[in-house]
Amino acid sequence: DAKTTQPTSMDCAEGRAANLPCNHSTISGNEYVYWYRQIHSQGPQYIIHGLKNNETNEMASLIITEDRKSSTLILPHATLRDTAVYYCIVRVAMNSGYSTLTFGKGTMLLVSP
């Protein structure tokens, strides 16, 4: 699986957009970008994933650069409950056979009032 680089921590004001970057310069053509988050004292939670097109769901948007070497997770209107560690993971499709997730250190996002 390709290596990812994320900032250790970020701050965001409540109600503003939170933009979390992830670098994955060694990503392969068949590797997807997955985002999970972990709220304190809970298990990780799936947010979104994508291959090359931008993706949006009820939780967030995922913007992947054209060269696919980096991506940004966008929480459009951050709330206090979005305070969590956000993990960016790059790997082949989860349903492609051997399918585990390797978590790095992630970005600690702190949303403040």
Task: Give the residue with the Cβ less far from other proteins, 106 or 111.
Answer: 106
- Edge-to-edge strand ranges of the sheet holding 9-13: 9-13, 107-112, 84-92, 31-38, 45-50
* Minimum separation from the CB atom of position 91 to other proteins (A): 11
- Edge-to-edge strand ranges of the sheet holding 61-64: 18-23, 70-75, 61-64, 55-56
* Minimum separation from the CB atom of position 104 to other proteins (A): 7
* Minimum separation from the CB atom of position 44 to other proteins (A): 5
Instruction: Establish if 94 lies at the interface with other proteins (CB under 8 A).
Output: yes
Task: Give the residue with the Cβ less far from other proteins, 14 or 108.
Answer: 108
